[in-house]
Structure formats: C-alpha cells, structure tokens
Structure 1
Amino acid sequence: MVATSTVDIRKLIAFVPSFNAILLVSSLLRVALILYSEWHDAHSVVKYTDVDYRVFSDAARFLLVPSEANLAQGPLGRWLGLGNPYTRATYRYTPLLAVLLTPNEWLHPSFGKYLFAGCDILAGIIIYKLLETTILPRLLDGPRNLSFKGEVFSKADTGTREEEQTVASQRVQRQATVLAAVHLLNPMVFTISTRGSSEAVLLLFVLTTLYCALNGQWDAAAVILGLSTHWKIYPFVYGIACLGALGGETMDGEGWRGYLKTTINQRTIRFTLLSAAVFTALGAGMYMLWGYPFLYESYLYHLHRVDHRHNFSPYFYPIYLTYPHSPVAPTLHNLPLWRRLILSPLASFVPQMVLSLGAGLLFGRRKEDLTFAWFVQTAVFVVFNKVCTSQYFLWYLLFVPLLCPRLSIPPRRVALCLLVWIGTQALWLSEAYKLEFLGENVFPGLWARSLVYVIGNCWVLAEIMSCYTK
C-alpha cells in the first residue's frame, strides 16, 4: 500500500509545473499587461494606469528639473540644486520613490511599472525560497508531520532511503511552487503592480525582513525593517513581534520576570537601536535634502489626515460629516469635548494600535510563529485603518502562501472564508458604484456596508487564527 502511495505521489508531482515555468509565465503576463496598458491608455478615456503612477512620475520630473519655484527645501538639497518632488500635489511618499522612478523621464515612461512588476517577481522568489528551505522542512522535522507523515517517511516504506529523500525533496519543491504561485499568479497582485502602484517595493522590503528573521540574520532584519518603516510607517508594528521572537531564543526564567528578561536584553536592545538608527539616518538625510515638506508629507500628514472620500473603512462617514466643508460640520463642532474626541480621525489609532501591537506581543514569542504574528498584525491594522483601499489588502495577502502550510483548515471552510471575504467587498462595491458613478445619496447605506466589511473580515481572521497549528 505504501509503495503504491509513493508511486501515486510521484505521478501527482509530475503534473505540477516547475517553479521556473511559473516564474516565466508570471513574468510574461506582467510584461504583456504593461504593454497593453500603454495601448489602452492611448485609446480609452478610462485609463488602465493608476492615478498614483502619474503622481510618482510627476514627482520624478520635478526632482530632475529644478527651478526657482521648484527647489529642494533642505539646506543640502538647495546647495546641490535638487528639484523638489513635493512640488507635485498629493505626493506623500519618501523622496526615494521619486529617485527610483527618475528613469521614467530619460528612459521610458513605463519604467516604474516594470520596476514594480520586477519587485513582484522577486517577492515570489523569496516566498519560494522560504517555503523550500525554511518553512516546509521545519514541518517535516516537527512532531506533527502535517503533509508527509505516513506517506513518504514511514518506516514501513519498502523503497530505499535515497528514493524517499528524492520524493520528499520533489514534494517540497512542488508544494513550494504551488504556494508561490498563489502570489505570482494572483490577479490582484499583478494587476495592482502593472497599473503602477508602488506597494510591490514595500512588500519586497517586508518580505526580505521576514526572510532574514526566519533565518536568524537579526542584524540584517533590523536594517531592512528600518528601511521599510522609512518607506511607509506601518511596518514598525513588526518590531514588537521581532523583539519577542528574538528574546524568546534565550528564555531565562518563568513568570513576569522571565518574560521581562526575554523582552529586554542585550539582543533585543541591539535590534531596536540598529533599526531605529537606520530609520533616523534615512529620515535625517531626506530632511537635509528636502526639508520640512518631506517630514510633513511623508509622516505628519497621515496623523491628521481627513480623507473624506469613501473607502472600505467605516471611519470615512464620520470624517465626511466633520469635514470642514460639510454642511453639518459647524453643528458637530459645538458638541461636547468627549464626543468630538470620538469623532476625531485620531481616535481610529486607538483600536488599531492596541490590536496590532497586542497581536505582536501575544503571538510573536517564537521565530517559527513570526509569519503568523505578522499576518494577524497586518490584517487588523488594515481592517481598522481609517483609510482602506484594495491595494492595502496586499499587505496581509503577502503572508498567505507562507502561512498555508501551518493551517489545518477543511476545504469547505476555506471556501466559506473566501466567500465572506470576497462577498463583503462585492456588497460594498455595489453600493459605492451608486455613489461614485450614479451620484445617488447612499452614504448611510454605504457606511452600514462598511460595518459589514469590518465584521466579515474579523470573522475570516478569527477562522484563520483558530486553524493555525503550532
């Protein structure tokens, strides 16, 4: 029976394409979509290219073409005669992104799209390597052999040890290929990057940080985490889980004293200082070059951001009602202080930070659980963020291929989770269409559907958490 099972496994493996084949298909797909985007944008009023890509491109042009009205505000930047990317309204990113996209001006307008698509591909390669060399082999060596026990490594197997190892290696590679394809061939992933969204760059930084952490390269992880946080502020929440996992490698004592020693020790302090130093050095360098506009647009703006445009977050409606130009805003400003605090955009940070940082403290106690901890942290950060659009979903979808081997979840429950996750978005989009394209006043109904979105996503997250196996 076991020998027959082994033969069947080999036959099954033969039907799974190689990772190189998946890589080639996903690369050609992205190139084709970028070429199509150029044709589509030239022949259609509704553009394929994301409006943010035009913002990035304009910022790169302002950077390359300084003028009296467009000079960097930092002392060093003025001395060097650099342009100011923040001359472009709504550019609220690190200047490094504009620097990366300067070839849009002197090489090709779609250079940035190819760059973002390339980051997608590199992320897929890292996912594959993590699965092949770190995550799946650890499952084989663990007490619960989730996928292989009793099939390949059974003592009753009549095959030779070399054959067993060969079949096992092939299974690991093919399973890693299938899971990496979840990222590489995900329509949401390749569509967003080929439309010109820069999320792929940040996700590559985050994934590289995780790769270094899971392989015990903590200094490198600290450096790249500092870079990631400079690029966009939210990855700082991963530092909490990293400190717990790093300190957990040197458990010393029990109770609260032992917990304190694992959280605050020489290794965790080194990690914190190194990551903070990279973040501070990058920020100081950008400030010297581009001055206060960098500091405000990249960081301070997001603290008091009042984005009253509708988005998946239910916070959009209170922000809309309290927006300065709203007809009901003067009445709301006469409310008591405690009610104004509740309606303030800053109030959204309380549940978001408590849940996200709390998840890092709770689940980030072992290096092997970092992927799970980061996934939970990111999911709650996105769900409870005061602004939430489809591209933010990529922040936690990035970890799904790495998390799948540790999930013990029946296929029916998987289907139900997908149905709820997609269904809540479709429900919201159907109402948002009436507001955006038909001009109907459906704000209360859209807000109610935003609440359904939050509840549905929280339920899916709870299901995933309950199916996670240590």
Structure 2
Amino acid sequence: MSQPPPRENSDPPWRILSSLSNPAYSPWIGLFFRLFLAWILPFLLDDGRLIPGLSYTDIDFLVFTDAAKYIQQGQSPYDRHTYRYTPFLAGLLAKFPHREVGRYLFCVADALCGWIILSLRQSQAKKDGNNIENWKVGLGDALWWLYNPLAINICTRGSSESLMVLLPVLATFWVATLNERTESTKQTTADSNASAATVKQVFWTGICHGIAVHSKLYPIIYSLSYMAYFATPPRTRSKTIIYKTNRFPWNHPVKLFRLAMLWIQRLLSPLPMLFLLTFAVTFVVLTWLAVRLYGNEALHEGLLYHFGRIDHRHNYSMYWYWIYLARARASSVSSAMATLTLSRIGKILLLPQAFLLAYSSLGMGPNPNQLGLTLFVQTYLFVSHNKVITAQYFTWYLCLLPLCSRQIQLQSREVLVAVALLGLSIVAWLGSAYLLEMQGMSVHRIVWACSVAYFFANVNVLTVVLQSRIPKDKVKESTMQKKKS
C-alpha cells in the first residue's frame, strides 16, 4: 500500500504566540504563570536568600496573614497594627491552614479578572458584528492584564489589589450584559422580557458594587456613572442627553439649571433608584456586620480612615511634599491641633477629585459605547489627583483599559509619545526616590519635582487619549476591516 503523502504544516511558526491570545487558553496560561511565580519568587528572594536585603513578599501580605492569625485565635484583626481593611478579608484568609494559600487565592482572582476582561471584549466583538466562532482577542488586549508584568508582580507578591479590582470589573460585566440583552431584545417583546432581565442585572450590579465599595472604598467613584447609565432609556442611549465638553452651557445659567433638573429627574427614575438601593443596602449590611463583630474599630480603621488619610512619606502624588511640610509645622503645636490641621488638608484635597468625577460621570456615563472609557477616565483622574499614589493604584485603571481599547487609537504616534513621557517621569521619580530612601540623600525637592512632572505627564496622557477617540461608525468600520484581513 502506498503511504499517504505527508501532511503539510500550514500553521505559522508563531502559533504559540497566537495561542497566548486565544480566549480558551490565555486565562489558564496566565493563571499558570502567576501560580508558578507566586511559588518560586518568594522562595528565591524572601529572607535575603538570593539577594541580601531584598524581600519579594509585599509587606501588606504579612499584615493580612497576621490579622488572619488573630482571628484564628479569637481576637480582632485590628489588633494587628496598620491593618486598615475590611475584616472579612482577614476572615477569608483565616479559613486556610497555610498563609501562602492566600497568595495563590490572589493569583486566581487576578486570572479570573483577566478572563472577565476577555469575555467583555468578546461581547463587544459580537456587538460589532464579528464572527464569534473565529474571533480571537488581540495579543495586545491580553497583554494589558493577563500578561501584564505589573499585574503579575502585584498579585504574586501577595497584594490584595487583584481581589479588589475583580469586583469593579465584575460589576462592569453585569452592566455590559445588561446592555447586550437590552439591545438584542426585539421591540415587540421588550416590555415584558427585557424589563425582567434589566431589573435582574441592575440588582446584581448593585450587590457587586456594594461589596466592592465595602472591600475597597475607591469603587464608590463609579456610582454616579452607573446611575447615569441606568437613567438613560435604551432608545436614547445612542444619543447624548448632555452637552459635549466644549459646548457645556457654563455661561448660560438657565440652560445649566434645566440640564440639572433633567438629570435630577432621570436619576430619580426606577432603575437608578433600584441600583442605589441595592448598593446602599449591601454596603450598609456588610459594614454593620463588621461593626457588630469587631466594634467601631472596624468602621474607623476599615472605612473612615481612608477619607482623611494623608501620607507624608514620599509617593507618586505631587501633594506629598506639601503634606510633609505641613506635618513638620504641625508637630510644633499640640497633637490635637496637628491632627485637626492634617485632617482638614486631607478633606480639601478631595474637592478637585469630586468635581472631576461628577463631571465625567454625567458627561460620559449615559453612552453605553463609552461606559468602559468613562470608568477608565474616572479612575485615571482619581489616581492621578489622589493625595497618596502607589504602584498598586496603577492596576485600578489598567484593568479597565482593555474595555475601551477599541475606542482609542492606542497605537497612534501621539499616544505612544505621551506614554513614553509618562514612563520617563516614573523612571526619574524612582531614581530620585532611591537616592532619598536607600542612600539617605536630602533630595526631597527633587523627588517632589519628579512627582509634579509625573502629574503633568498623566494629564498629558489623558488628554491625548481623549483626543484619539474613534467615532462609533469608524469603530465598526475598522472592526470589519480587521475581520476581512
């Protein structure tokens, strides 16, 4: 018998790279990377085994696990100094026999967040008319989270940020599912079937959002955006009900008053109120339960502390040097007066954030095609204007960037230059911070100048990103061109 001709290998040599972006494999590959690094890197780097004086594990992970031990011993997690998180986080870690299981749990949550991001991207591709059976997420989208070195580093070091960012992404997933079901429902059956599905999705979004805000206070900035989205009827979501930024009626008090009345009327409609009620009940019940179990310390350390938190130690925020000087001056007076002064400073610094977040919520939130972009812009504004900024805060908006990648020309020259300038500002800050922290050099003003440069680099990035937005019709056109190619 004649041997069959050898089958030609039609697969390209970069098939392995293409499998990294396959939605069926990439979450598992990302999870494997995280679990392996979470096992090997602490073994090599902790306790100065490989590099003397260097420890890989995040100090917060030690705080979590110590608080979990207190719970196992029947004590309060707040007996652990500097534990300022929800008590349920320590209670969750207390269920595991070994503390390293908590690190692996954070890795699983991080990979799950990446899977939800890919699912949302697939939902967006379906909305654009792509063939879902042959659809593959771009490797660039997967790199933003699943293969992002920063996200992998933070979760493998034992930071709980991976678990915290999962909740806002999950809430956004419920909102996106609501949008998909509402638009896919025919007009003849929308009154019965769509209303039940809408109420269910709003209900679950409110619960998830309540858990997220209780666990980590920052997702509360998304509340008005969600309400603005739910306040806009499906038939008018393709049209904006608010003026564009460059045409906002600041100089016309009558128009501005009518616009405010319109928003009040819409925000008091049933769906936004259902979301607000579900969110508030979930948040209040969890907070009440925490206070019931561990006293008022759970309220003060887990929530209220973060409203007036100020950190005089150097961080990326341009406010740190001002706070550092104010703390030094306040130390010359009584401790009560110093505490009052620093508390007032912390509250004053919240005002610019509150204005920018409210404006972006009502200006961008109602448009379903911009919801991911709205949340990204809000988080970016919040982080860049915050009085305390650490590298962990970067994950708050990086997890949202893939949700709006199809609306932004991320590969444009302007965006690349802006990101490069941001990277240079971070490198300059790290270098000056190293001289201050490790070498003991008095370079406080240089670190502050680098923090100011970092702030303006962030403003430049956000400006360029908003200017590079792709119109809705061009988004669909570019998607179809990618499909043909």
Distance 1:296 1:343, change over 3 A: closer
The residue type equivalent to 2:126 in the other structure is P
Query: Displacement, 1:237?
Result: 1.2
The match for 1:179 is 141
Distance 1:315 1:374, change over 3 A: same
Q: Would the aligned equivalents of 1:304 and 1:346 in 2 still touch at CA under 8 Å?
A: yes
Distance (Å, rounded) in 2 between the aligned partners of 1:297 and 1:342:
15
The residue type equivalent to 2:323 in the other structure is I
Distance (Å, rounded) in 2 between the aligned partners of 1:303 and 1:310:
19
The residue type equivalent to 1:136 in the other structure is A
Q: Would the aligned equivalents of 1:50 and 1:195 in 2 still touch at CA under 8 Å?
A: yes
The residue type equivalent to 1:172 in the other structure is W
The match for 2:206 is 222
The match for 1:52 is 60
Kindly report which structure 2 residues correspond to 1:405-424, keeping only aligned pairs within 5 A, or say none: 405-424=406-425
Query: Displacement, 1:311?
Result: 0.2
Distance (Å, rounded) in 2 between the aligned partners of 1:128 and 1:250:
25
- The correspondence for 1:41, drawn from 39, 46, 65, is 46
Distance 1:27 1:341, change over 3 A: closer
The match for 1:99 is 91
Kindly report which structure 2 residues correspond to 1:364-379, keeping only aligned pairs within 5 A, or say none: 364-379=365-380
Query: Displacement, 1:368?
Result: 2.6
Query: Displacement, 1:28?
Result: 2.1
Query: Displacement, 1:410?
Result: 4.4
Q: What is the percent sequence identity of the aligned residues? A: 30
239-248 vs 416-425, greater mean Cα deviation: 416-425
Distance 1:259 1:250, change over 3 A: farther
Q: Would the aligned equivalents of 1:341 and 1:347 in 2 still touch at CA under 8 Å?
A: no
Kindly report which structure 2 residues correspond to 1:7-406, keeping only aligned pairs within 5 A, or say none: 16-17=18-19, 18-36=22-40, 37-42=42-47, 43=49, 44-66=52-74, 83-104=75-96, 106=97, 108-132=98-122, 134-140=123-129, 168-169=131-132, 172-175=135-138, 178-216=140-178, 217-249=201-233, 256=259, 258-323=262-327, 326=328, 329-330=331-332, 344-406=345-407
225-234 vs 416-425, greater mean Cα deviation: 416-425
Q: Would the aligned equivalents of 1:357 and 1:377 in 2 still touch at CA under 8 Å?
A: no
Distance (Å, rounded) in 1 between the aligned partners of 2:468 and 2:308:
38
Query: Displacement, 1:250?
Result: 5.3
Q: Would the aligned equivalents of 1:13 and 1:171 in 2 still touch at CA under 8 Å?
A: no
Secondary structure of 1:215's match? helix
Query: Displacement, 1:321?
Result: 1.2
The match for 2:468 is 467
Distance (Å, rounded) in 1 between the aligned partners of 2:323 and 2:387:
9
Distance (Å, rounded) in 2 between the aligned partners of 1:453 and 1:287:
39
The match for 1:69 is none
Distance 1:458 1:332, change over 3 A: farther
Query: Displacement, 1:229?
Result: 0.4
Distance (Å, rounded) in 2 between the aligned partners of 1:452 and 1:88:
37
Distance (Å, rounded) in 2 between the aligned partners of 1:20 and 1:417:
34
RMSD of aligned residue pairs (Cα, Å): 2.6
Distance (Å, rounded) in 1 between the aligned partners of 2:262 and 2:308:
39
Distance (Å, rounded) in 2 between the aligned partners of 1:408 and 1:258:
33
- 1:305-359 deviation digits (Å, cap 9, x = unpaired): 2311100001111111122xx26753899x9xxxx79982221101111112221
- 1:46-102 deviation digits (Å, cap 9, x = unpaired): 110000000000000001113xxxxxxxxxxxxxxxx20000000000001101111
Q: Would the aligned equivalents of 2:70 and 2:80 in 1 still touch at CA under 8 Å?
A: yes
282-291 vs 95-104, greater mean Cα deviation: 95-104
- The count of aligned residue pairs is 408
Distance 1:329 1:321, change over 3 A: farther
Query: Displacement, 1:138?
Result: 2.1
Q: Would the aligned equivalents of 1:435 and 1:441 in 2 still touch at CA under 8 Å?
A: yes
Distance 1:412 1:57, change over 3 A: same
Q: Would the aligned equivalents of 2:202 and 2:274 in 1 still touch at CA under 8 Å?
A: no
Distance (Å, rounded) in 2 between the aligned partners of 1:440 and 1:32:
38
Secondary structure of 1:416's match? helix
The residue type equivalent to 1:406 in the other structure is Q
Distance 1:32 1:52, change over 3 A: same
Query: Displacement, 1:299?
Result: 1.4
Q: Would the aligned equivalents of 1:245 and 1:366 in 2 still touch at CA under 8 Å?
A: yes
- 1:114-134 deviation digits (Å, cap 9, x = unpaired): 0000001101110111111x2
Q: Which runs of 5+ in 2 are unaligned?
A: 1-10, 179-200, 242-257, 473-485
TM-score, normalized by length of structure 2?
0.79
Q: Would the aligned equivalents of 1:307 and 1:316 in 2 still touch at CA under 8 Å?
A: yes
Query: Displacement, 1:375?
Result: 0.4
The match for 1:454 is 455
- 1:392-436 deviation digits (Å, cap 9, x = unpaired): 010001111111111135432332132022111111111111100
The match for 1:162 is none
Q: Which runs of 5+ in 1 are unaligned?
A: 1-9, 67-82, 141-164
Distance (Å, rounded) in 2 between the aligned partners of 1:343 and 1:445:
26
- 1:257-284 deviation digits (Å, cap 9, x = unpaired): 5444322211111111111010001101
Distance (Å, rounded) in 1 between the aligned partners of 2:87 and 2:105:
16
TM-score, normalized by length of structure 1?
0.81
